[in-house]
Amino acid sequence: MKFTLQANDKFSKARAGEIETAHGKIQTPIFMPVGTAGTVKAVHQHELKQDIEAQIILGNTYHLYLRPGLDVLNKAGGLHKFIGWDRPILTDSGGYQVYSLTEVRKIKEEGVTFRSHVDGSKHLFTPENVMDTQRVIGADIIMAFDECTPYPCDYGYARRSLDMTHRWLKRCCDRFDTTGPLYGYDQTLFPIVQGSVYKDLREKSAEVIASFNREGNAIGGLSVGEPAEEMYAMTEVVCNILPTEKPRYLMGVGTPINLLENIALGIDMFDCVMPTRNARNGMLFTQNGTINIKNEKWKDDFSPIEPESDLMADQVYTKAYLRHLIRSQEILGAQIASLHNLHFYLWLVNQAREKIVDGTFYEWKNKMVKILGQRL
């Protein structure tokens, strides 16, 4: 993997760059649609390419390990071939999913034992076998195995968890560096900064992660319930330490406003289920603010969802029609809304990139934050 910085904003730490992988180039800042189990929910791969122009998507190690399973993925030649996607893929390590299984998992130094949400079967994730699993999945960028602490989190627990995450990282790197890719192209390992919302722990973790000198770095454990101000404060602390010449990935974030504020702090990569999950529940993100399409006010509104930026080249869907579909729980409603929200997210980060390059990002960002906070 190669990362090239192409522009820096004069009034913030925002930057534009390019990540080069075996499956293509990624223009940053970038948002990665979440394809948890080998599919971005309600969206075809050709729509991801042609309509949304997604440059990279995300898969989840925990879910893919359980279904379809490593044997199937290996026989298919990896996730790219299995799902028919020839652009870059990033996989998270499953650490967040295991963290969310509070009642059915146990964390020890060796790793994490957990029970499958599918059939209740017992499994063990270790730093070593998570690296092996991500080799089989075959993503271009893979994540180290870490523990994602909850919010709020006791300082003592956060410190102990952080130290273990760093020990696990050493084991991840050792396993990754002594194994090879399975499908004829290189993979890249990103470590993950943790430390909850404690400044000294975040600083310590960022320094440790930077010392491993991997090709890119991730920031985890934010967007887990903490106030946005805490997220921004921790992101700023970490970005001041992580090397500027390597991409920074803020995991699981977030709202359109979160994206803009964190881009201004120096983040290059994002992922979040919000655009698709909220879409299925009738929440639409637009250039003028947020729409709850279920509201009565849209019942006979026959204007396009986004007048200034038609999603479909050959089809205009009205607010009234989409409201009807969502309220009727028609599958097409989830499809249209998901396409719209993902299109908007990719439009937003692309606009941010253009503004960084032409030197107008900071003023534009401040204006957009006010607009995007509106409920229409």
Please tell me whether 120 is known to bind a ligand.
Answer: no
Q: Is 38 annotated as a binding residue?
A: no
194 labelled as ligand-binding? yes
Is 94 annotated in a binding site? The answer is yes
CA-wise closest residue to 228 among 347, 132, 369:
369
> Is 86 assigned to a binding site?
no
Annotated binding residue 132:
no
| Residue 122: strand pairing partners | 115
For residue 93, say whether it is annotated as part of any ligand binding site.
yes
Q: Out of 9, 51, 92, 268, which one is annotated catalytic? A: 92
Catalytic residue, from 9, 51, 140, 271: name it. Answer: 271
The reply to whether 271 belongs to the active site is yes
Residue 358 marked as a ligand binder: no
Determine how β-strand 122-125 pairs with β-strand 112-115. antiparallel
Peptide bond into 304 cis (omega under 30): no
Tokens 């790793």 belong to which residue? Answer: 111
CB 172 within 8 A of CB 131: yes
Structure-block tokens of residue 122: 């017992």
Q: Which residues are catalytic?
A: 92, 271
User: Which residues are annotated as part of the binding site for substrate?
Assistant: 92-96, 146, 194, 221
